[in-house]
C-alpha cells in the first residue's frame, strides 16, 4: 500500500514537470495568496501595535483633561479677534476634591519663536513640572530636566529637544548657553534624547512630534509669558487667553479610571458654560484600539483570502486543461484496471503538490515582509523626505510584525483551497468512459 502511495506521488510530480511553466504559474497564484495573508496581517499588526504603544504611553491609569477651542468660537467669524477659553487654575482645586484622584500634572503649551544669535526656531513651548518627563517617557541626553527648585523659584531655564539643540548649537555645547524667547533669556540646562512622535487622537488630543519642544518651568511661563498669547499675521492680529492646556490626573487603580473621568466631566460641566475642554481616557482608547485591531485584521484577512480563492480558481483551470490533454492516458489506465478512486487520487495528488509548493514558497516570501517594508521605507525616506514627512507617524514608524498563527493559517487555507478546487477536475477525470477516452485524439 505504501509503495502504491509513493508511486502515485511520483507520477503526480512527474506529470507536473512535463509542463514546468504552467505548473510554475499555478504555484505563483498560491504563492501570492499565501504571502498576501502573511504580509497584510503583519502590516496591520504593526500599525495596530504602534497605535496601542502610543496610547499606552498616555498611561492606562491616567485621565487627561485638555483645553479645546469651542466650536462656536471657531466658526470662522472674522470679527472674533480674541478668544478666552480652556481650563482655569481655579478649576484645579475643585477637580482635586475627587477622591479617586491620586496625583496630577499641569501643562501649558504654546508656539513661540526662540532665538540664539542669527538662528530662529519656531518652538513648541512646553511649560511643565518635573513629572512631565516621566509621563512622556523623555530621556535626558546631557544636563538635566526641569526640577522642583526651578519651578518654585521661577527660574529662567529651559531644556531642549535634540532637534532644537542641533539647530541652535550644531557645533558647540548648548549647556550654559542662553536662548531668547520674547527677549527674555533662558539658560539651557539640558538636552533630551530623540523621541518617537505620538499620533493625535481625534480632535481632543493633538499629535506631538517632540522635535520643536522647548521645556520651561510652569511658574516661569505664568510669570514671564502669561496666559495671553497674541498671533500676528499679514494685516491682522489675533490672540487667545488660556491658563492651562492640559491636566493629567493619575488614578489609584484602573477600575476607577472610567468613574473618575465621569466625575471630572460633571465637575467641569458645573464650572464651564461652554464646552471648551475634552476628557480623554487612554484606557478606553486602548480597548477601542484592540477592538479595531481585530476588525482590521479580519478585513485584511478577507482580502488575502480572496487572493487565495483566485489562486484556487487558477488550479481548477489548469487541472481541467490537464484532464482534457490526458484523456487518452486516463482511458489507457482505466482499461488496464485502474478504478475511479485511483484516477481521482492521482489528480488530487497533483493538486496537493501544487498547493503545498505554492504554500511553502508563499511562507518564505511572507517572512521577508519586515525586511522588505523597512528597506522600501528607508529608501523612500532618503529619496523623498518631504513626502515621507507628511505621512502619519504610525506609517513612518510602523514595523511589520509577523503574526505567528498567520503562517499555519495561510498554509492550511492554501492546501484546502487547492483540494476543493481540484476535486471537480479529479471527479470529471475519474468519470470518463474508458472506451470514449481511448478514442480521444
How confident is the model over 96-110, as pLDDT tens digits? 999 888 888 999 999
For residue 207, give the nearest of 288, 145, 112, 124 by alpha carbon: 124
Residue found under cell 487558477: 314
Q: Which pLDDT value is given to residue 250?
A: 86
Domain boundaries, the chain: 2-55+287-439, 69-275
Q: Which pLDDT value is given to residue 234?
A: 59
Q: Is 7 exposed, middle or buried (0-12, 13-18, 19+ CB in 10 A)?
A: exposed
Virtual torsion, Cα 38, 44, 45, 51, nearest 10 deg: 170
For residue 155, give the nearest of 185, 177, 133 by alpha carbon: 185
98: CB partners within 8 A, 6+ apart:
249, 260, 263, 264, 267
Tell me the angle at which helices 406-430 and 282-325 cross, rounded to the nearest 10 degrees.
30
Rounded distance, CA 80 to CA 238, Å? Answer: 8
DSSP 3-43: HHHHHHHHHHHHHHHTSHHHHHHHHHHHHHHHHHHHHHHHH
pLDDT by 10s per residue, the chain, length 441: 455 455 555 655 666 666 677 778 778 878 888 888 888 888 877 877 776 666 666 666 788 899 988 875 544 444 456 788 999 999 999 999 998 888 889 999 998 899 999 999 999 999 999 999 988 888 999 999 999 999 999 999 999 999 999 999 998 999 999 999 988 999 999 999 988 766 554 444 555 678 899 999 999 999 998 888 776 665 667 788 899 999 989 887 777 888 888 999 999 999 998 889 998 887 656 666 667 667 777 777 677 677 777 777 777 777 777 776 667 677 777 676 777 777 777 777 878 888 888 888 888 888 888 888 888 888 888 888 777 777 766 566 677 888 888 888 888 888 887 788 778 777 777 777 666 655 555
| Residue 288: C-alpha distances to residues 37, 72, 382 (Å) | 24, 29, 35
* pTM for the whole structure: 0.59
Q: Is 196 exposed, middle or buried (0-12, 13-18, 19+ CB in 10 A)?
A: middle
Task: Give the number of residues written for the chain.
Answer: 441
359: CB partners within 8 A, 6+ apart:
30, 34, 410, 411, 414, 415
Q: Which pLDDT value is given to residue 19?
A: 67
Q: Which pLDDT value is given to residue 52?
A: 66
E strands, 42-183, are 62-67, 82-84, 101-116, 119-128, 140-143, 157-160, 178-181
Tell me the angle at which helices 282-325 and 20-56 cross, rounded to the nearest 10 degrees.
180
Q: Which pLDDT value is given to residue 166?
A: 94
| Residue 82: C-alpha distances to residues 78, 126, 240, 243, 248 (Å) | 10, 22, 5, 14, 27
Residue found under cell 505554492: 358
The model's pLDDT over 371-404, given as tens digits with 9 standing for 90+, comes to 888 888 888 888 887 777 777 665 666 778 888 8
For residue 220, give the nearest of 280, 287, 153 by alpha carbon: 153
Amino acid at each position: 500500500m505504501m509503495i502504491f502511495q509513493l508511486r502515485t506521488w511520483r507520477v503526480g510530480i512527474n506529470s507536473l514537470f512535463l509542463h514546468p511553466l504552467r505548473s510554475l504559474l499555478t504555484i505563483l497564484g498560491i504563492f501570492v495568496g499565501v504571502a498576501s495573508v502573511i504580509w497584510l496581517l503583519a502590516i496591520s499588526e504593526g500599525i495596530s501595535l504602534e497605535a496601542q504603544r502610543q496610547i499606552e504611553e498616555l498611561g492606562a491609569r491616567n485621565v487627561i483633561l485638555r483645553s479645546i477651542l469651542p466650536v462656536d468660537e471657531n466658526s470662522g467669524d472674522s470679527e472674533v479677534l480674541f478668544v478666552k477659553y480652556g481650563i482655569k487654575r481655579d478649576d484645579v482645586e475643585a477637580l482635586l476634591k475627587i477622591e479617586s484622584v491620586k496625583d496630577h500634572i499641569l501643562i501649558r503649551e504654546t508656539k513661540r519663536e526662540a532665538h540664539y544669535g542669527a538662528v530662529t526656531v519656531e518652538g513648541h513651548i512646553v511649560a511643565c513640572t518635573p513629572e512631565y518627563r516621566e509621563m512622556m517617557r523623555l530621556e535626558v541626553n546631557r544636563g538635566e530636566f526641569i526640577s522642583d527648585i526651578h519651578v518654585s523659584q521661577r527660574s529662567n531655564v529651559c531644556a531642549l529637544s535634540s532637534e532644537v539643540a542641533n539647530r541652535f548649537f550644531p557645533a558647540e555645547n548648548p549647556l550654559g548657553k542662553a536662548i531668547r524667547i520674547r527677549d527674555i533669556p533662558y539658560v539651557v540646562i539640558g538636552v533630551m534624547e530623540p523621541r518617537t512622535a505620538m499620533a493625535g487622537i481625534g480632535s481632543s488630543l493633538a499629535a506631538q512630534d517632540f522635535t520643536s519642544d522647548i521645556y520651561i518651568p510652569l511658574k516661569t511661563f505664568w510669570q514671564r509669558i502669561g496666559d495671553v498669547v497674541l498671533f500676528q499675521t499679514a494685516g491682522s492680529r489675533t490672540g487667545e487667553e488660556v491658563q492651562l492646556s492640559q491636566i493629567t490626573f493619575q488614578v489609584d487603580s484602573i477600575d476607577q479610571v472610567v468613574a473618575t473621568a465621569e466625575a471630572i466631566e460633571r465637575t467641569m460641566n458645573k464650572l464651564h458654560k461652554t464646552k471648551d475642554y475634552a476628557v480623554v481616557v487612554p484606557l478606553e482608547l486602548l480597548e477601542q484600539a484592540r477592538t479595531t485591531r481585530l476588525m482590521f485584521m479580519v478585513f485584511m484577512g478577507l482580502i488575502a483570502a480572496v487572493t487565495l480563492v483566485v489562486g484556487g480558481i487558477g488550479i481548477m483551470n489548469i487541472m481541467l486543461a490537464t484532464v482534457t490533454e490526458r484523456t487518452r492516458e486516463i482511458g489507457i489506465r482505466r482499461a488496464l484496471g485502474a478504478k475511479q478512486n485511483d484516477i481521482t487520487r492521482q489528480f488530487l495528488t497533483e493538486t496537493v503538490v501544487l498547493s503545498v509548493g505554492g504554500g511553502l514558497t508563499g511562507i518564505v516570501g511572507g517572512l521577508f515582509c519586515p525586511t522588505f517594508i523597512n528597506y522600501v521605507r528607508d529608501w523612500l525616506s532618503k529619496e523623498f523626505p518631504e513626502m515621507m514627512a507628511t505621512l502619519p507617524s504610525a506609517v513612518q514608524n510602523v514595523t511589520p510584525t509577523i503574526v505567528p498563527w498567520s503562517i499555519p493559517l495561510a498554509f492550511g487555507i492554501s492546501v484546502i483551497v487547492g483540494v476543493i478546487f481540484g476535486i471537480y477536475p479529479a471527479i470529471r477525470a475519474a468519470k470518463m468512459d474508458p472506451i470514449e477516452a481511448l478514442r480521444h485524439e
